[in-house]
Structure 1
Amino acid sequence: METRTLGVVMNGVTGRMGTRQHLVRSVLAIREQGGVTLADGSRVNLQPLLVGRNADKLSDLAARYGLEDWTTDLEGALADDDYPIYFDAQLTNVREPALRSAMEAGRHIYTEKPTAESFEGALDLARLARSTGVKNGVVHDKLFLPGFRKLKRLIDGGFFGEILSVRGEFGYWVFEGDWQAAQRPSWNYRAEDGGGIVSDMFCHWSYLLEDLFGTIDSVNAKAVTHIDKRWDEQGNEYAATADDAAYAIFEIGRTVVQFNSSWAVRVNRDELVELQVDGTRGSAVAGLHRCKVQPRALTPKPVWNPDLVEATPFREQWHEMPDNEVFDNGFKYQWEQFIRHVVDDEPNPYDLLSGARGVRLAELGLKSSAEGRRIELPELTL
């Protein structure tokens, strides 16, 4: 079978996530395996064109991975018909105009999230995609992680019966930067630069909860800035103006979801993000890689007695789910899906409208926090 080449403009991949997950572990890994296999058995391989604002960083990155094609001229890259796909991993505040330019140039787009700084901006992008007819996709990487794929397997198999509640915990301690360097960039903690855990993580929780449990009906959130002083990459003190933690309740039909997100919490769990799902017939705890279950028939019968030291090994009463398949890198998995969507017209629900729902959830989460009330989410259509 033949192998075709498909050019991809990759903008903003000099950053840590763009380099590691999208360039190296996705696009270059696809090249190394010989391309994406299509429905007819043929393959399509990817030819990246690196784009950015810093020529030195682009040159160094290209040299490191043996690539020849890079440029600081985004307009010229979008005008090149050899590159029909545009990928964006830039900062959020410059993403929207770049996506708009790419679609107006007739390019299919695949993008990181949030897709825009505002819900209206994100919705306008979805409308533009429809009017131009370009294929479009938004990175929904957490759906393809082993732990959540196992959880999806349980849901689809009816393991839980009626799902009653979900409790999500995400986060870890991000050092302030004074005596140990921070693990995240300083702009994450400045609202004026687009930072904040709500705008960052609620876009993820939107598609994750939607895919696993259904449409989110309402949000009631409290966003806070626990640590109001941090130090940047140059060691300069700055005011942390963005929220670094959020405590939310989402309603999905009769299911109540409590979700804590924090960059000011010390980890006492098996993974950095975990969901506990409780149903009438069983429960599960899923993280990025693992998933443990406790079915109804094997549920123990705890008895409350505060006068005695608890000796029950509760964690040992759960059972590890087997992999039952080989799990590929989640980012790479979705890249392959998007390529098949472009070339084979394979269905793709993870589009700009889905991205707009994520931006809306973040926006309404912040509004809920500011106004101290529960906010319903109406059905979203173009």
Structure 2
Amino acid sequence: MTRRPIGIILNGVTGRMGYRQHLVRSLLAIREQGGVPLDDGTTVWPEPVLVGRSETRLREIAERHGLADWTTDLSAALARDDVKIYFDAQVTQQREKAIRQAIDAGKHIYTEKPLAETSSGALELARAASAAGLRTGVVQDKLFLPGLRKLKRLIDGGFFGRILSVRGEFGYWVFEGDWQPAQRPSWNYRAEDGGGIVVDMFPHWQYVLEELFGEVKAVTTVIATHIPRRVDESGNSYPATADDAAYGIFELAGGIVAQLNSSWCVRVNRDELVEFQVDGTEGSAVAGLRGCKIQHRAVTPKPVWNPDLPVTEDFRSQWTEVPDNEEFDNGFKVQWEAFLRHVVAGEPFRWDFLAGARGVQMAELGLVSAREGRRVEVPELDR
């Protein structure tokens, strides 16, 4: 089988997401499986070029995985003819400038979300890349989670009948950083550094809702900064200026109402860190990262409200687990494989920069709703 090498810049590979999900669990995992097979009998072989600001950390990562190609000079990496793809996993504030460099260098671009700090900036990137004839993609990993793929299978099979509502709970307790280290970097809690849970999670909710249930027509949001002070990586106390919880209502096409809570200040009492309950006229489902449980209309129990008596029913036991029926690979890796096929073989890939711009728009509108205390309709993006 003929191997087709393709150079891929990984900018921000020293960060948690860039390293774990995109280098180790995606590109290196693709190499371990022998590459990405194409219909013509060849395989795409990713050749990572590690880029970051710290020579020490880049060298350590490269040595750990037997890689030799790394640099702190992004411009030099973009100038190479053997590099065809630029990938960005930096903090959002650094992303737009670097992607513009990649467009000017004529590279196809794949990036973590959000694509830019503003929807206007994201649209400008989409237009520039399109005018240059470049192929683009934005990470939309939640769509490839086993739980949501099972949920999509139920929707496609007509299990729900008419879908009425979606309720989502996402989050966990992120330690303040004083007596236990925080699980997230401190910039997440500083608005001036691009932090905030709306900016982080609303782009996810936009593509999940649009892909599975329907276009978002309006949003109403309440946000909070529940923990006003945190402690950073150096042990210094700092004011948390970004929202750490968001409570959103999303009105979808077809009359579906979605309520999604996102919080870094909630202790988990559910099966997974994120769960979506979908209720329809014919049945309901609860989907998480991996699992998905259902209850059909024909077997729905008939609870009776009586606060004077103890509950005798085990409600959780009344649901049935949806079987896998297929092997589920790492969602980040699956989308990487699809993007590589898109670049090399021209296979369809709908999660482009325009899709990424809609996610940025949703975060902007959510913050407008919270700031002005009103329901905000979602306008069409001007391409």
TM above 0.5, one fold?
yes
Deviation at 1:28, TM superposition (A): 0.4
Partner residue of 1:139?
139
Matched residue of 2:302: which SS?
A: coil
Post-superposition Cα deviations, 1:284-324, rounded to whole Å, max 9, x if no partner, equal 00000000000111111111111101111100000000000
Partner residue of 2:36?
36
- Percent pairwise identity: 69
2:85 is aligned with 1:85: yes
Partner residue of 2:94?
94
Q: Name the CA distance, whole Å, in 2 between partners of 1:57 and 1:288.
A: 31
Partner residue of 2:363?
362
Q: Name the CA distance, whole Å, in 2 between partners of 1:216 and 1:341.
A: 27
Matched residue of 1:366: which SS?
A: helix
Q: Name the CA distance, whole Å, in 2 between partners of 1:279 and 1:295.
A: 9
Q: Aligned letter for 2:365? A: L
Partner residue of 2:4?
4
Q: Name the CA distance, whole Å, in 2 between partners of 1:359 and 1:304.
A: 43
Q: Name the CA distance, whole Å, in 2 between partners of 1:221 and 1:250.
A: 9
Matched residue of 1:84: which SS?
A: strand
Post-superposition Cα deviations, 1:25-79, rounded to whole Å, max 9, x if no partner, equal 1000111111001122321111001111111111111111110000111111111
Q: Aligned letter for 1:202? A: F
Partner residue of 2:261?
260
Partner residue of 2:353?
352
Deviation at 1:339, TM superposition (A): 0.3
Partner residue of 1:247?
247
Within 5 Å, which residues of 2 pair with 1:150-299?
150-253=150-253, 254-299=255-300
> Which range moves more in the overlay, 372-381 or 130-139?
372-381
Q: Aligned letter for 2:207? A: Y
Q: Name the CA distance, whole Å, in 1 between partners of 2:229 and 2:168.
A: 27
Deviation at 1:381, TM superposition (A): 4.3
Q: Name the CA distance, whole Å, in 2 between partners of 1:367 and 1:276.
A: 27
Q: Aligned letter for 1:124? A: E
Gaps of 5+ in 1: none
Deviation at 1:180, TM superposition (A): 0.8
Structure 1 consecutive aligned stretches of length 4 or more whose deviation exceeds 6 Å: none
Gaps of 5+ in 2: none
Deviation at 1:129, TM superposition (A): 1.3
Matched residue of 2:216: which SS?
A: coil
What is the total number of aligned residue pairs between the two structures? 382
Deviation at 1:197, TM superposition (A): 0.2
Q: Name the CA distance, whole Å, in 2 between partners of 1:163 and 1:287.
A: 18
Q: Name the CA distance, whole Å, in 1 between partners of 2:104 and 2:217.
A: 34
Matched residue of 1:217: which SS?
A: strand
Partner residue of 1:57?
57
Q: Aligned letter for 1:207? A: Y
Q: Name the CA distance, whole Å, in 2 between partners of 1:175 and 1:51.
A: 30
Q: Name the CA distance, whole Å, in 1 between partners of 2:226 and 2:326.
A: 41
Post-superposition Cα deviations, 1:200-232, rounded to whole Å, max 9, x if no partner, equal 010111111111111110100011100101111
Q: Aligned letter for 1:302? A: P
RMSD, aligned CA: 0.7
Q: Name the CA distance, whole Å, in 1 between partners of 2:148 and 2:262.
A: 17
Deviation at 1:344, TM superposition (A): 1.1
Partner residue of 1:325?
326
What's the TM-score, normalizing by structure 2? 0.99
Q: Name the CA distance, whole Å, in 2 between partners of 1:57 and 1:98.
A: 20
Partner residue of 1:301?
302
Q: Aligned letter for 1:322? A: P
Matched residue of 2:176: which SS?
A: coil
Q: Name the CA distance, whole Å, in 2 between partners of 1:378 and 1:16.
A: 34
Q: Name the CA distance, whole Å, in 2 between partners of 1:213 and 1:329.
A: 23
